[in-house]
């Protein structure tokens, strides 16, 4: 497929996991991909893998929770490629913690990266994507739709992403800009290593696993993100699409 031929796609969290698979998917579909991550070496690796497969990509270092870096990243992409068609907000952090042990700094970092980071990226990108009548795909989580123990900050950040997406979708829908959110369940990426239960808590505290009987793989989420960003999804706006193998069904 060449659904993104001639289009410029910015993917955050592109150094690893779902973000890397998403960047590679857009690259394979002929998009020009701006691979953004706080981990520049990882983003460079992703961009190199896209170029090695015959696509076009560049890497940019950016902490999505930093307003100045976000604006410079988006403006830099538009200055280089002349346009921006798609923004995918994939960057995120995770982890379990007893609520009484969460420091103010930890709470602020969860909200700053997972929620404010996506808002800042949308704010910077929207004026450009309005010109190309493109699309934004945010990444939430099933933890933004249902409760998870030991995850108050993560759930709050991802629940915020879901409603922020819907608010933006109704604000900009009439102008042709579509904004959707993908909510993955358990996906095999480095992030899941950060989700270690607090000491003394049994695995039984967690909700059931996917009825499909395995974890998801990053390309399975990337395919949904690419679909939502494409012209195959022109009547999907403000939707939270669950990609969890039926875990919360």
Ligand X SMILES: NC(=O)c1ccc[n+]([C@@H]2O[C@H](COP(=O)([O-])OP(=O)(O)OC[C@H]3O[C@@H](n4cnc5c(N)ncnc54)[C@H](O)[C@@H]3O)[C@@H](O)[C@H]2O)c1
Residue with tokens 């700053």: 112
The contact pattern for ligand X, residues 47-86, with x = CB under 6 A and - = no contact, is: ---------------xxxx---------------------
Say which of 81, 150, 154, 172 is annotated catalytic: 154
Asked if 22 interacts with ligand X (CB under 6 A), we say no
Asked if 190 interacts with ligand X (CB under 6 A), we say yes
Give 32 or 148: the residue with its C-beta nearer to ligand X.
Answer: 148
Asked if 246 interacts with ligand X (CB under 6 A), we say no
For the record, the structure tokens of 74 come out as 């988006």
Give the shortest CB-213-to-ligand X separation in angstroms: 16
Nearest to 191 by CA among 16, 43, 4: 16
Asked if 88 interacts with ligand X (CB under 6 A), we say no
Give the shortest CB-217-to-ligand X separation in angstroms: 10
Residue with tokens 């497929």: 1
Residue with tokens 């499909």: 212
Asked if 160 interacts with ligand X (CB under 6 A), we say no
Asked if 184 interacts with ligand X (CB under 6 A), we say yes
Catalytic (active site) residue 172: no
- CA dist., res. 247 & res. 186, Å (int): 9
Give 96 or 132: the residue with its C-beta nearer to ligand X.
Answer: 96
Long-range contacts formed by 42-47: CB under 8 A, 24+ apart:
42/14, 42/15, 42/16, 43/14, 43/15, 45/15, 46/14, 46/15, 46/19, 46/20, 47/14, 47/23
Helix 67-81, helix 117-132: angle, nearest 10 = 20
Asked if 38 interacts with ligand X (CB under 6 A), we say yes
Buried (b) or exposed (e) across 148-177, using 16+ Cβ within 10 A?
A: bebbbbbbbbbbbbbebbbebbeebeeeeb
Q: What is residue 13's DSSP assignment?
A: S
Asked if 181 interacts with ligand X (CB under 6 A), we say no
Pick from 139, 229, 242, 247 the residue near ligand X by CB under 6 A. 139
Q: Which residues bind ligand X (CB under 6 A)?
A: 12-13, 15-19, 37-39, 42, 62-65, 90-94, 113, 117, 139, 141, 184, 186-187, 189-192
Catalytic residue list: 154
């Amino acid at each position: 497929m060449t659904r993104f031929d001639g289009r410029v796609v910015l993917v955050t969290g592109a150094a690893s996991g779902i973000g890397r698979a998403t960047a590679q998917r857009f690259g394979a579909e002929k998009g020009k991909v701006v691979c953004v991550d706080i981990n520049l070496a990882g983003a460079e690796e992703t961009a190199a893998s896209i170029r090695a497969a015959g696509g076009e990509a560049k890497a940019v270092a950016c902490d999505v929770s930093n307003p100045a870096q976000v604006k410079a990243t988006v403006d830099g992409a538009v200055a280089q490629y002349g346009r921006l068609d798609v923004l995918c907000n994939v960057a995120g952090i995770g982890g379990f913690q007893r609520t009484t042990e969460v420091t103010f700094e930890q709470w602020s970092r969860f909200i700053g990266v997972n929620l404010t980071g996506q808002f800042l990226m949308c704010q910077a990108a929207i004026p450009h994507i309005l010109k190309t009548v493109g699309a934004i795909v945010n990444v939430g989580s099933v933890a933004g739709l249902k409760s998870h123990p030991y995850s108050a900050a993560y759930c709050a950040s991802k629940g915020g992403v879901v409603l922020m997406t819907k608010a933006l979708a109704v604000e900009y829908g009439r102008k042709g800009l579509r904004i959707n959110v993908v909510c993955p369940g358990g996906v095999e990426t480095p992030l899941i290593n950060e989700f270690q239960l607090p000491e003394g808590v049994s695995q039984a505290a967690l909700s059931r696993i996917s009825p499909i009987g395995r974890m998801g793989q990053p390309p399975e989420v990337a395919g949904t993100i690419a679909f939502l960003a494409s012209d195959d999804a022109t009547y999907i706006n403000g939707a939270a699409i669950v990609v969890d193998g039926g875990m919360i069904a």
